[in-house]
Amino acid sequence: MTHEKQEKPRYFEAAAITDADAFKQVVQSRRSVRKFTQTQIPDEILQDCLDLALLAPNSSNLQPWMFYVVQSEAPKQALVKACMGQLAARTAAELIVCVARTDRIDELAAENIRQFTLPKVPKAVKSYYRLIGLNYKTGLLNSIGHAKKLAYGIASKFTPLPITAFSPADRKLWAVKSTALACENLVLALRAYGFDSCMMEGFDESHVRKILKLNSEEYPVMVIAAGERAEDGVFWPQLRFDRNLFIQKI
């Protein structure tokens, strides 16, 4: 007589009913807007868009991002200058600096345990978050990174291994990837509310660092200009190349 192993009860969350056509409209109507009207974004809408940005998928739920909403006049004008005086920056109702952070990994790993969404934190979850910080540590003069690279090079010949940080640049890339996903959430949320944006990479990083007083492990990813689209705010029709250049079945 055989006994089937009983699976432990798992959390269940039903998928919400969604509207694909409405989502298509948001995505297809999102453009890089270079000129905005003087209309302000209501604060409740801006805050909701930021909250939606924070719902973006991210690595190990470590949420390695920060959004600086620059509204005070002096730092805002300094930020416009740091963005080379671009028209999008000059006319935007809001300027939001999106920053990837690698300096809070241990802190936010501990928060995942402290604020776990079920009454009892599984042992595997506790172990994971107590050790996850080691995945991104590289040590003085990259000593830990070099040791990990050597160990991974040997072990990966026998079994697949997850990504890890072999250098500070690897750790930065890890944080930037998650932050970019949150940036996409933010601009799509703005479009859903009828506002527009321009995701600017054209800025002087050293100036932005000085304006925001960033530490060495905070990395500006982009400055998002946001507001109401001016009639002549989009300069050119959208251009996308043949999808076969980017999509391949294997």
What DSSP designation does 157 have?
T
Sheet-wide strand order for 196-200: 65-70, 94-101, 218-227, 196-200
Which pLDDT score, from 0 to 100, does residue 193 have?
A: 98
Which pLDDT score, from 0 to 100, does residue 82 have?
A: 98
Host H or E run for residue 129: helix 123-136
3-state secondary structure of 22: helix
**CA atoms of 36 and 189, how far apart (whole Å):** 17
Residues 138 and 171 sit within 8 Å (Cβ to Cβ): yes
What residues does CATH 3.40.109.10 cover in the chain? 30-104+168-234
Which pLDDT score, from 0 to 100, does residue 5 have?
A: 61
* Span 131-153, pLDDT tens digits: 999 999 998 899 999 989 988 88
> At a CB cut-off of 8 Å and minimum separation 6, what does 88 contact?
32, 33, 34, 35, 36, 198, 200, 225
Residues 226 and 196 sit within 8 Å (Cβ to Cβ): yes
Residue 70 phi, psi dihedral angles, 5° rounding: -95, 105
**30-104+168-234 has which fold?**
NADH Oxidase (3.40.109)
Work out the burial of residue 223: count CB atoms within 10 Å of its CB; fewer than 13 is exposed, 13-18 middle, 19 or more buried. buried
**CA atoms of 109 and 6, how far apart (whole Å):** 31
**CA atoms of 131 and 109, how far apart (whole Å):** 9
Comparing CA positions, the residue from 176, 174, 150 lying closest to residue 163 is 174
Other beta carbons within 10 Å of 94? 21
* Span 221-246, pLDDT tens digits: 999 999 999 999 999 999 999 999 99
Stretches where the chain sits below pLDDT 50 are none
Which pLDDT score, from 0 to 100, does residue 152 have?
A: 84
Please give the angle made by the CA atoms of 125, 128 and 132, to the nearest 5 degrees. Answer: 145
Which pLDDT score, from 0 to 100, does residue 185 have?
A: 98
